[in-house]
Amino acid sequence: MIDAVKAYIAAQRLIEPGDKVIAAVSGGPDSMALLHILRDLSQESGFNIVAAHINHKLRPQAEQEQQFVEESCRYLQIACYSKTIDVRELARQNKTSLEDAGRQARYAFFNELLQQLQADAIATAHHQDDQAETVLLHLLRGTGIQGLRGIMPRNRDLIRPLLQQSKQNLLAYLQENQISFCLDQSNQDQTFLRNRIRHQLIPLLQNDYNPQITENLSRLAEIVRAENEFLQQIMLNYWTQLVCSQDEQGLEMDLEGFKALPLAARRRLTIMALSAVGGPAGWEARDVEKVLDLLPKPGSAKILQLKKGIMINKSYDRIIFTSNWQKADVFNIEVTIPGEVVLPDGSRYRFMLTDCNHINTDAGDVYLDYDKLSLPLVLRSRHQGDVIQPVGFAGHKKLKKYFNEQRIPFRERDRVAVLASQSGEIYALPGLCVCSPAAVDQQSQHILLIKRAADENNGYNLKSR
């Protein structure tokens, strides 16, 4: 038993020599086995161990349990950190279930201890039977690959050294070593469904279908865990190759590259994109299928709306995932000099004349050679076929190509202000670039200064990217 746990800890790299590990101990059989096994291994493998106990004040026995854990630790010469939390009161305050309140309190305390003790990990006593229950729970609720992994041997700071030990083995270990424990009342912490799985479904499956069901589900979880990890490594490469731009509001992916991938890779990339834009939790197979269904359809007008306010659209050669879709209003405003233009997104442009002595290139303002401009000017959104000559580039360039090179997200391109003559010659994209026909040079005498200020509430400040 000890050897098996030791091998598992090594294989999964749960604890390194010199680590400080906090064992979460309720006083029940599982966690008492954990405490003793880790104590034995800590001497052998050279890591340190302390115990942490939470008194939830939910049951009359809670005080006794706390005392029992503290005394056990004294006997084992392990430092024990206890905390009393009125979970019922906490649940009332936060308007959540006892279960949620308890879990939150528990992990808050654990994190506090991690910081305070400069510890490396918190070990919990989850075992093979918990694992089998979790796999069944996910399977019954409906899951893809991720859910079948069940409980992970490591999840950030949390480690589960007993995950491949059966409850039966743990009980035998306790008996052999004459280790006492509190009566197992942990079922009360469990959800109703998990309780039914533990007390009805698993015994039924064991008796009527396969006595090895627990081991089988646990082995499946481990296989799936490793496969998933392998796939995620592979997917990170695709992610790097295919995500063309990403910011807080969304991301864009190369459509052709995406389409060329195998179905499973497309599904995983979609989940990754939805998670990156809308947070990791709650995405389901049906969301993924909706995204995949969008792609083969011709045209780019349709915007797919998913939960959490996420929108997906196909635009030219990109798939766009965004949490802040604003179909930009087209604008075309004649500029008076001096004067001010306010665009639909709230950004403001002030136009004024100055001379060469007042050019301050650090301010982010735009300076153009006024004498080179063909008046009147318009500040407008892009037109199809727009061509520009940005200073420093040789020759003409399609505006679309320039946007691609500058990685301007598609969803922002209609909001970029284009300063042009009535006949269509483009002088500047204020905030992005000045174009050669309007550039200030040694001969310039009269200067047009454009000052830009984004509306804080609404405007998208291109400079902030």
Pairing outcome for strands 121-123 and 158-159: parallel
| Spatial distance between the Cα atoms of 370 and 360, rounded to a whole number of angstroms | 16
Read off the tokens for 58.
């939910």
Check binding of 213 to a copy of itself (CB under 8 A).
yes
Judged by beta carbon, residue 262 or residue 395, the one nearer a copy of itself is 262
Q: Considering only 84-92, 183-191, 200-208, 369-377, which stretch makes contact with a copy of itself by CB under 8 A?
A: 200-208
Check binding of 209 to a copy of itself (CB under 8 A).
yes
Check binding of 260 to a copy of itself (CB under 8 A).
no
Q: Considering only 81-89, 213-221, 324-332, 409-417, which stretch makes contact with a copy of itself by CB under 8 A?
A: 213-221
Judged by beta carbon, residue 232 or residue 461, the one nearer a copy of itself is 232
| Spatial distance between the Cα atoms of 398 and 341, rounded to a whole number of angstroms | 25
β-strand partners of 120: none
Closest approach of Cβ 82 to a copy of itself, in Å? 38
Among 174, 224, 303, 352, binds a copy of itself (CB under 8 A): 224
Closest approach of Cβ 217 to a copy of itself, in Å? 8
> Residue 56: how many CB atoms within 10 A of its CB?
23
- From residue 86 to residue 125, what is the string marking binding to a copy of itself with x (rule CB under 8 A)? ----------------------------------------
Among 208, 362, 441, 456, binds a copy of itself (CB under 8 A): 208
Judged by beta carbon, residue 116 or residue 233, the one nearer a copy of itself is 233
Among 95, 141, 156, 358, binds a copy of itself (CB under 8 A): 141
Among 73, 125, 151, 217, binds a copy of itself (CB under 8 A): 217
Check binding of 316 to a copy of itself (CB under 8 A).
no
Judged by beta carbon, residue 57 or residue 196, the one nearer a copy of itself is 196
Check binding of 207 to a copy of itself (CB under 8 A).
no
Check binding of 328 to a copy of itself (CB under 8 A).
no
Count of residues in contact with a copy of itself, rule CB under 8 A: 41
- Terminal CA-to-CA distance of the chain, rounded, Å? 55
Check binding of 233 to a copy of itself (CB under 8 A).
yes
Judged by beta carbon, residue 179 or residue 220, the one nearer a copy of itself is 220
- Confirm if 161 and 8 have CB atoms less than 8 A apart: yes
Judged by beta carbon, residue 133 or residue 386, the one nearer a copy of itself is 133
Pairing outcome for strands 80-84 and 48-55: parallel
Q: Considering only 97-105, 153-161, 191-199, 413-421, which stretch makes contact with a copy of itself by CB under 8 A?
A: 191-199
Judged by beta carbon, residue 225 or residue 318, the one nearer a copy of itself is 225
- Residue of 115, 106, 64, 104 lying closest to 83 (CA atoms): 106
Closest approach of Cβ 157 to a copy of itself, in Å? 22
- Residue of 129, 130, 216, 123 lying closest to 161 (CA atoms): 123
- H/E/C letters for each residue in 84-107? ECCHHHHHHHHCCCHHHHHHHHHH
Range 148-151, long-range pairs (CB < 8 A, 24+ positions): 148/220, 148/221, 148/224, 149/221, 149/224, 149/225, 149/228, 150/217, 150/218, 150/221, 150/224, 150/225, 151/126, 151/221
Would you call the peptide bond into 338 cis, given omega within 30 degrees of 0 as the criterion? yes
Q: DSSP 3-state assignment of 7? A: helix
Closest approach of Cβ 21 to a copy of itself, in Å? 23
- Residue of 291, 281, 227, 217 lying closest to 255 (CA atoms): 291
- H/E/C letters for each residue in 413-439? HCCCCEEEECCCCEEEECCCEEEHHHC
Pairing outcome for strands 426-429 and 433-434: antiparallel
- Residue of 407, 85, 98, 384 lying closest to 251 (CA atoms): 407
Closest approach of Cβ 308 to a copy of itself, in Å? 21
> Which residues lie near a copy of itself (CB under 8 A)?
139-145, 148, 193, 196-197, 200-201, 204-205, 208-210, 212-213, 215-217, 219-220, 223-224, 226-231, 233-234, 262-265, 267, 285
